[in-house]
Chains A and B, each alone.
Chain A
Amino acid sequence: MTPVLASATLSGPHVDFAGLSPLLALLGGAVVVLLVGLLGSRWVRAQVVPALSLVALGTALGLTIWQWGEEKSILAGALRIDDLSLVLTMILTVGGIATVLLAWRSLAAREAAHGEFHALLLTSIGGMTLLAAAQNTVMLFVGLELLSIPLYVLCATEMRREHSLESGLKYLIVGSVGSATLLYGLALIYGATGATDFTTIASAISTKGLSSDVLLLTGIALCLVGLAFKSSVAPFHQWTPDVYEGAPTPVTAFMAVATKVAALGVFLRFFDVALVEAQSSWGPAVATLAALTIIVGNVGALGQSSLKRMLAYSSVAQAGYMLAGVVVSTQLGVRATVFYLAIYLFMNMAAFAVIIARERQAGLGDNVQSVAGLGRSDPWLAWPLTLSMLSLAGIPATAGFIGKFYLIDAAVAGGYTWLGVVIVIGSMISLGYYLPVIATMWMADAPAPLPALAGGSPELDEDLSSPSVKGVQPEVLLVAVLAGAATLFFGIVPQPLFDLVHGVGSGFGLF
């Protein structure tokens, strides 16, 4: 040990536990859940563990509300607690609660011994909240990995199903490439600006006049690619349909909603704070990617017979819509994006809850035929899915209409009118795959029950293909009905959400 090091006093940053509390609740919950999951009793594992996860998520949500209104940088500027990170944390925890409810009696949770499943889920949400608050590039990367690695595992939790394993492996490979690309980009940006902190990067770009610096621009390009991977932006979306289709449906629901929230959140903060001075360079590129994403997502979703695959493409398209709010770099754009993220949660949760309910009931997997005749046989499931489809398509009186209107308004006000037009065209195409679902539900007859297949392992049959429950499980129905009701409610009374997102861009120094 050299004398210099010995004499140096190492002082850690001041830790603001209040600001950190939602994250602590999530990660602490993950540890507790993992340990409780080791207990022998089957009942404890199957019932107490998810209940504890709900407690952890509820606590995190409560703490987030408690922190509402704070504007501060914590951990020596590594994290930013403001309206944006708090709203995103709220969306994430609500999405997490819905996921836990959907996974309560799922095969995936059972196969992964409950404790592991929920611990991974909570850790991933923790990573997402970290990402939503990240204010330097190191924290950004840590958050991104913390959210990604548990997800790779979660995708593969139905261990005896080949598709689930394939999905997990694919996600791992593609996700790692994305992470590596992002890391490379972050390194180049550090090389160009000499800073890791977002605000310092921004001031370095403007004071040193770096906006056309090769090193910086290459770094931006690689970061853009890396984040595009995570938020499934075309042409880096190709993992999405495969992974969404293969993953256990509750995990798909979680990925569709939460990953998108975290990725778009970091898009907003990284591009509209750190790189805002170079907006004239990256703006057109991101806008082009957004347009491409909208077209590819909507066109790809046409004619899909698997509902999960259809929703995967739809989520690609929706990511494109939301990028429009990022591109314009205005307060209005930030608000519109966050507003859309909030309603996106409800629309997708309603749809996935119904798919899960039908998977467990009808024995047709996630094929669109599984909802045929649902309008007559079970209107409580048919209505949420109908509302969700209408809302995703942006039909008035649903939240999706208001959200899309807001995004288009932001795009036009920010000088990207053509992107607004692309959003409208995309919505028109999207009716081509949303409406057939509704038509199948209300106008087609329920398919005749399939004859039992001979052969195969009896226990496998029991676990994987045959309907395991007769009625709809109440917790799944609850998620479907609440999310569907919220979709309708915020379409009629959007003002509470407008108020919620009003301040999300205030810390940004944008117009």
Chain B
Amino acid sequence: MSATTYGWLVLLFPLLGMLTIAFGYKAFPGRTAGWIGTGAIFLAFLAALGALLEIQSLSPAHRQVTSSLWNYANTVGVNAQLSILVDPLSVFMILIVSGVSTLIHLYSISYMDKDKGFNRYFAYLNFFVFSMLLLVLAGNFLLLIVGWAFVGAASYLLISFWYRRTTATKAGIKAFVINVVGDVGLVLGTYFIFKHTHTLDFLQTFHVAGQVFTHNEADLVAGCILLLVGAFAKSAQIPLHTWLPDAMEGPTPVSALIHAATMVTAGVYLIARMHVLFELAPIAQDVGAVVGAVTLFVAGTIGLVQTDIKRVIAYSTMSQIGYMIMGVSVGAYAAGLFHLMTHAFFKALLFMAAGSIIGAMGGEQSLNRMGGFRKAMPFTFGCFIIGGLALSGIPPFSGFFSKDEILLVTGELGGWHWALYVMGYIGAFLTAVYTFRMIFRAFYGDPVPEAQELEAGHLHHPEHPTNPATGEIEDTDVGFPGPTHAIAERALPMKVAMCILAVGSVGLGLLQIPNVDFVIDDFLRPSFAGSAVYETHTKDGLLAFGLLLGTVLGLAGIALAWRVWVARVGGRLSPAKLQARWHAVYELLAHKWWFDELIDGLIVRPMATAGRFAAGTFERAVVEGGLIDGTVSVVRAGSAAVRAVQSGLVRYYAAALVLGVAAIGFYFLLQS
């Protein structure tokens, strides 16, 4: 089979899985739907492997293959095809998406076991994976937009999965609205580009881009910045990031899947895919790099003070995506995508481990309530440590190599890019601090009652389940989490999934060790064949300095976290004293730099006020009174008139006929 056939299969399996579960949900007993969903994604992963083998058997110059299933419409100047593009970049993405998704599906089988919406959950999850695969396989802008919007819709469904929780439905709406802002950006950006290239196809667009666009041409810059708006909204970059922490309202495996491993990487993929256009518009590249750097720094600082364990990881995701956006914006495509891959592994692992500890806490997510779980949950602890070390960039874990490569390329550009370089390393230090703050607070210290109960062999089970965000009492029927929780120590599927991810988190960095091997670079090269900046010469001095600096900062961060949160012997560095001393800074961070309030004050409130004003005046008088009532009465009067002449009597019809003939005859006589 050809690579594109495998590409179509990659799309087919999740679609079939979704349809099977969605239409047959009544027939599936127990965990069947979960296994069907997992199997569908696993088959997609196998097909992705097939595509990988096929594409590698082609000569490097011919590794970009397109296939069109049918023309949606080829008329009036638009050729809209249902076409996919299989090349190293898309194969790289489908491997990550389908691979990590398979493990998350597997984990979900146990984690969602007793949830009353089990089958619905897997139908949504399959739909999400299908949408994401469609997004990365799309061979033209039209299909990209379709996949892009589907992903937004799927994330809305999954964030609001526990739909009887007001907090969850609100978070879903927030995510959807911000994603739609991004969709609008993407569509408008596409329009700006289509206006000049007259084609929707990616390869043709890239082919003609150099001829129809001049360097930094206004329309191209506008188009690329609008594409960036789309990327920022999907990838939770400032200022369109506020949905991501709230999206933690969804079930934890959902957070692992769509808010760590796949959906938020769509923006990174988009910039990498459009690199031909971005290289022609360096202004847009600079915008992307600066926003990425600012995001990685701001998110890192917020992560320091969050108390909800999932939100800490969510801010860390934002921060890490910031690295990737910065990387692909400065031309470090392979490095950015390499970090995307390693991040998918260790972040999914961290979320899964967090899910396990939330299960042990009976649904409670606050770090303030956790502590001393080290002995009770050794496996989860081990996974947290591995994921944490990879995230903090400690050698030889995977995050070490990928993060430093991004910063290395940034540093080599020189000039004002040094500022980004410095911010990146400050971010690395913050990452180590907040990651290990989280780990130390959850696993060290005196065991909390839940941990003691678990050590005694019994999984804690709250008498009255509550919403961890508000403390409201809930039941366990459909629309709320199920009656029992699962922990990795006691559920084999969860354990297997986490083991595989842990191995990946440790070992994947070895794919690309500076000056040793270049697997990712070599594999992705055909997709970036036309790029001027793909091949860069490494300054060995800077390389060694960066690697050393990264290691030192990571270790220093961990040491600081240890000092503050474990060895807190009432010294100058206890959390309470720090909080009192840096009160203003703490307030800033605890309120997440007031971004929610800023958006609320700048956009939501003025809009709402204007809307209320317009509703009271313009809407009531002009729209409802004039346009609607007026139109309705005109139409109604017309309807009455038509029915009045429709008397059923042929003689009146004859009269109408004579009048009609007379009128038309008169008109034609005037023409002569």
Contact = CB atoms under 8 A, between A and B. Distances in A.
User: By DSSP majority rule, is chain A's interface helix, strand, loop, or mixed?
Assistant: helix
A498 B671 contact: no
B669 A214 contact: yes
A177 B655 CA distance: 12
B646 A224 contact: no
Contacts of A285: 664, 667-668
A333 to B, nearest CB: 13
A222 B671 CA distance: 15
Contact of B665 (A218, A295, A303): A218
Contacts of A221: 661, 664-665, 667-669
B660 A217 contact: no
Contacts of A212: 671-672
Interface stretch (B25-33, B66-74, B360-368, B452-460): B66-74
Interface in B43-96: 70-76
B665 A235 contact: no
Nearest to B671: A281
Contact of A222 (B638, B665, B672): B665
A406 interface: yes
B654 A281 contact: no
Contacts of B570: none
B657 interface: yes
Interface in A273-330: 281-282, 285, 289, 295-296, 299-300, 302-303
Contact of A495 (B70, B650, B661, B672): B70
Interface string A469-493: 0000000000000000000000011
Interface centre among A212, A241, A429, A495 (most CB of B within 10 A): A495
B635 A299 contact: yes
B537 interface: no
17 contacts: A170-B650, A174-B650, A181-B661, A214-B669, A217-B668, A220-B668, A222-B665, A225-B661, A235-B660, A236-B657, A295-B638, A299-B635, A300-B639, A402-B73, A409-B76, A495-B70, A495-B71
Nearest to B641: A299
A251 to B, nearest CB: 19
Interface string A377-410: 0000000000000000000000000100010010
A225 B664 CA distance: 8
Interface residues on B, range: 20 to 34
Interface in B471-506: none
B227 to A, nearest CB: 24
A295 B660 CA distance: 16
Contacts of B628: none
Interface in B624-672: 635-636, 638-639, 642-643, 645-646, 648, 650, 652-654, 656-657, 659-661, 664-665, 667-669, 671-672
A225 B660 contact: yes
Contacts of A468: none
B650 A173 contact: yes
Given A409-B76, A498-B73, A299 B664 contact: no
Contacts of A492: 72
A226 B148 CA distance: 53
B639 A494 contact: no
Nearest to A219: B668
Nearest to B658: A177
Contact of B672 (A213, A289, A302, A402): A213
A137 to B, nearest CB: 18
A222 B668 CA distance: 10
B667 A495 contact: no
A465 interface: no
A432 interface: yes
A241 B643 CA distance: 10
Contacts of A235: 656, 659-660
A238 B75 CA distance: 37
Contacts of A241: 646
Given A217-B672, A242-B648, A300-B646, A177 B639 contact: no
Nearest to B663: A235
A170 B647 CA distance: 13
A239 interface: yes
A205 to B, nearest CB: 13
A501 to B, nearest CB: 11
Interface in A151-172: 170
Contacts of B667: 221, 285
A493 B71 CA distance: 7
Nearest to A235: B660
Contacts of A236: 656-657, 660
Given A173-B650, A218-B668, A296 B642 contact: yes
Given A222-B665, A300-B639, A300-B642, A238 B656 contact: yes
B72 A495 contact: yes
A148 to B, nearest CB: 16
Q: Among the interface residues B635, B645, B668, which one has the most CB atoms of the partner chain A within 10 A?
A: B668
Contacts of A173: 650
Contacts of A406: 75
Given A300-B643, A402-B73, 9 more contacts: A174-B650, A174-B653, A224-B664, A236-B660, A238-B652, A296-B638, A302-B639, A406-B75, A409-B76
